[in-house]
């Protein structure tokens, strides 16, 4: 469930994982196009539309036109569960319907908990995609000062044969994309770094005492503690921030102020 319906972040993650596992099968130009399409989503990480009166009224009417086509909603359980998901996730009501509809297709269940599972899975797809791209560059040493990289990785470098050309090409694409991503600034701040800092400090997805949605249902039909998912997401956000700082070592004064 991606806003606008034109990107499936779980498919994006699968594409990146496949590329990193088998670089020989990757067309560099096509892979770069995939990353470029995802660039706005990385820079605006997790900026989903929030609840609003117009979307709520549209859902309550029971008749919507989604990217997948027209949908007729029943008051029970469709509308009830979509509005519950919207309230708990602070998510636009129409996007909440898309999550619930996606859960119905994958699990056969119409529920806010299953819709939340779809929502968290899509978030994980986007965030893990970013994490893999940043990590690939950091772990290749291309973001570290030569003396530091040598001190940390010299044994590994000396024990490995030369990397195949296709892997070098893949890393070149990833490093160029990361450089472009981290060069985007607004108001004296690196956009990606600023967004990661904001998200690390944001806890609005945590289930509050008395929440009607303390657990979510994943794609396998299993109940998962909602706060455990939030904690896991926060950990990956922190790692992305650390990797971003390794790659872009000359942060702006505003970036440093935000982080500290």
Torsion 188-193-196-200 (CA) sign: negative
Cα distance between residue 248 and residue 250, in whole Å: 6
pLDDT value of position 153: 43
- The secondary structure of 56-75, three-state, reads HHHHHHCEEEECCEEEECCH
| pTM, 2 dp | 0.89
> Cβ distance 133 to 177 under 8 Å?
yes
Q: How large is the angle between the packed helices 226-247 and 112-140, nearest 10 degrees?
A: 20
pLDDT value of position 145: 53
pLDDT value of position 82: 98
pLDDT value of position 171: 85
pLDDT value of position 143: 58
pLDDT value of position 258: 86
pLDDT value of position 107: 87
Cα distance between residue 42 and residue 237, in whole Å: 12
Strand partners, 216: 224
pLDDT value of position 156: 38
pLDDT value of position 121: 96
Residue 34, C-beta contacts closer than 8 angstroms, at least 6 positions apart? 12, 15
pLDDT value of position 144: 54
pLDDT value of position 249: 76
Q: Exposed, middle or buried: residue 134 (CB in 10 Å: 0-12, 13-18, 19+)?
A: buried
- Which residues of the chain are modeled with pLDDT < 50? 4-5, 148-161
pLDDT value of position 141: 62
């Amino acid at each position: 469930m991606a806003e606008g319906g034109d990107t499936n972040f779980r498919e994006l993650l699968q594409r990146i994982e496949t590329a990193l596992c088998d670089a020989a099968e990757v067309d560099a130009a096509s892979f770069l196009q995939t990353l470029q399409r995802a660039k706005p989503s990385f820079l605006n990480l997790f900026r989903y539309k929030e609840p609003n009166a117009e979307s709520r009224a549209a859902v309550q009417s029971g008749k919507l036109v989604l990217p997948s086509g027209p949908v007729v909603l029943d008051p029970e359980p469709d509308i009830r569960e979509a509005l519950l998901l919207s309230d708990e996730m602070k998510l636009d009501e129409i996007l909440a319907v898309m999550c619930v509809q996606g859960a119905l297709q994958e699990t056969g269940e119409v529920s806010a908990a299953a819709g939340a599972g779809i929502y968290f899975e899509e978030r994980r797809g986007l965030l893990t995609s970013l994490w893999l791209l940043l990590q690939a560059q950091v772990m290749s040493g291309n973001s570290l000062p030569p003396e530091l990289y040598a001190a940390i990785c010299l044994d590994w470098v000396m024990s490995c044969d030369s990397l195949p050309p296709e892997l070098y090409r893949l890393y070149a694409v990833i490093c160029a994309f990361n450089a472009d991503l981290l060069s985007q600034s607004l108001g004296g701040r690196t956009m990606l770094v600023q967004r990661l800092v904001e998200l690390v400090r944001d806890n609005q997805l945590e289930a509050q005492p008395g929440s009607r949605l303390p657990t979510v249902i994943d794609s396998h039909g299993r109940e998962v503690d909602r706060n455990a998912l939030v904690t896991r997401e926060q950990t990956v956000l922190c790692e992305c921030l650390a990797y971003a700082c390794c790659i872009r070592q000359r942060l702006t004064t505003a970036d440093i102020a935000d982080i500290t």
